A and B are shown apart, each in its own frame.
Chain A
Amino acid sequence: MGANMARREPPTRRPDPVGWLRVGYTKTGPAAYASHRDLARAFERMFRRAGVPLAYSSGFSPHPRISHFNVAPTGDSSLAEFLELGLAAECDPEALLEALNAVTLQGVVFTTATPTGRGATAKELTASRWLAEFTAPTGLAAAATALLAAPTTCITRATGKGLKTIDVKPALRTLRVEENNAVMVLAHTEPLVRASDVLTALETHKASWSAYRLTRLAQGLDGTL
């Protein structure tokens, strides 16, 4: 494609967004199985269907200015996902929510829309509270106690670049077990510790179950959840 550009003028620069909105949404049911790339594509189309005044980047392949943060992993549900949206024109947040919910996907409900500074979301959402629901768990409470007491607990996770070993403890703020459920708060550390990594850590402390489901309940500033 690049070779075909030689003699053409670059397109005119598009104006900067007039403002940014932080939009909160859920990702449950079928939508929980979408990857972050799937969701990004689906949201672009959804925003166009809803007639949202999207701001676009400049250049030969303009992209809508949508930033996604901390998208819950493929397969995990969430009641607290957030994105930032650059607007080409002012719009009423309430009307925007209504328009989005009229054209949304099964499992995605838009819950909040608030004005924000660009990139503020990343600084303000630094931890998450997760709910793990287990089917037929055994040894859960003991494993949680052991995990909380252990100075480190390393797990390995398959990534695109091979196996990666991660210590879950630096991210784990709280962990509470109630019958078949566990609720935990995880800080968004580097490397990122996923909720499923904590479940793997519980398995190394001898817990087991036949199936589980993970749901992100909330996101916020580390220390406030």
Chain B
Amino acid sequence: MKHSIINKLNMNKWLTFFVLFSALFVSCTGKKKAGSAVSGDAAQKVYVAPGKYDELYLFNSGGFSGQVSAYGLPSGRLLKVIPVFSQNPENGYGYTEETKPMLMTSHGFIPWDDSHHPQLSRVDGNNDGRWLFINANNTPRIARLNLSTFTTEEIIELPNSGGNHSSPFCTENTEYVVGGTRFSVPIEGDLDVPINSYKQTFKGTLSFVKVEKEKGTMNLAFQLLVPGVNYDLARAGKGVSHGWVFFSCYNSEKANTLLEVNASQHDKDFVMAVNWKKAEEYIAQGKGKKTKAKYAHNVYSHSTHSATSTMLEDVLMLDVKELKDICYFIPCPKSPHGCDVNPSGEFIVASGKLAAVIPVFSFKKIQDAIAAKAFEGEFDGVPVIKYEAALAGEVEKPGLGPLHTEFDDKGFAYTSMFVSSEIVKWEVATRKIIDRVPTYYSIGHLCVPGGDNKNPYGKYVIALDKITKDRYLPTGPELTQSAQLYDITGEKMKMLLDFPTIGEPHYAQAIPAELVTKNQVKAYKLEENKHPYLTKMESEAKVVRNGKDIHIYMTMIRSHFTPDNIEGVKVGDVVYFHITNLEQDWDVPHGFAVKGANVSELLIMPGETQTIKWEPKEVGIFPFYCTDFCSALHQEMQGYLRISPASSKTPLMFGTNVAAVEKK
């Protein structure tokens, strides 16, 4: 009781401090109006004429929508929402028999998650435009999207994790994508423990998911068992620091309640430097321990147009307490969030959300400190390098609430400031602040195209904001979140555009368009379709009864279904519509919906086969139709299904443009 009163006092003190400090800051800098923040030629710089293409793709996380959205830059035009961790009735993802396995987990089918950090695949430290990875925060998973089809191709669950936040950051050649537990949880032995035994029983894990070079297939290569703190963000080393990954950690207090106060007590938390090449050496020596774990691995094939879900049983675990030279802690001021590596790989910029400076660590100094054992002690069995021994220098008075830093091609860094709602530009070599610009409002992550690459593309910085308030026409209490585009080609950053986003634009990555457009698939080839219920031509369309199961092998082409008259189906049957789109032309999907179906529509791409399951519950004639305006005769693209009573003797009949024909 007494304990919690002290906490409340503490909290009040903190809040007062923050409000005062923020107020002071605002009054010092003067309130900036949006109008004055836009320069005269902004419209020209973001105008992409009708029919012209944007310069870049921006892959924006949907945050709590669980999806990924693709925008064009500099126009800010929304191109597509790609379903990943959430069901999407718009195209049937997560509703069709083929895609339902994508959302399977060890906890069963999950229709939603929270997607945070898109991460483009890379070769030699630069984005290659092949895949996009993104994490599921709530039920820990990593997804891989194929950018030739803009579809989710694979999802792997991460066991022994209590929230996959520091993920799926990608090593220099996409050797691994990583995951780190945001929540530490009990992992081994008895899991039914008191929550306040946190300090003794809770552990963290860092997952290393191997990515196959050609196809991108993921497998959980190993997990590191690490101290029970909160792992927040990560970035892989590159160039000189290739072979390492850096994770930011908060809650070194190991609090299990009221973290906003109790996890904000220490002056310093940590950045954890992880030598994954060393971990690989230990594994080669057989030092890893196979431990039981249950996790799903879901793979979608564009050949069968179907996903499979496999439940895996074990994972290779390495305990960093025993294998000492894999992990090192570096003290870092107050609850670091971003943990970002500059293009050369030499500097690691950690952003303490509550810190007054931005520390910049030197990879070389870290290596020297490890060699000289310049440790100040251990934390839970992991050596802690002396702060000064790892530090290259600090960025002084950057602003309030530094969160995340990305880099341009000219040696500058851009750090987002959540509390002071601005972007701060500073020079990496001198750590001098060059410029600052307001964001609208409360920026979280930011994105410089290629900003985590060896060779950043630069040119723009995109602010990803949590709050919009008065920025757009109001839409009731629930408002959109937003992104702003700034020109960074000059010394001063200039705002060009402000646009709303889907869900929460938690983080985004941008890539020159031609790296993605060159691989685009226009239609799936019918002759390569290996779906078990494929109907390759209209003459092969049929309806088959197998006990209570009715399998309808249907085709669609402008502008009819075959068959479009079906009789002989009864109440109590389970009907599967397996529909193949016979079109082979660009941009001719067809949709399918049947009255009373308890699932979404189907949206079937040319050459693709998809299935919905429908259980008729009452007698009657049930219309079905094409939902995607496909041609001048789209409205004629329809059919009827007759449902008879369970006791009916109506034989199974079907046809198009003939009287429904009785089956043999």
A binds B: no
B residues within 8 Å of A by Cβ?
none
A residues within 8 Å of B by Cβ?
none
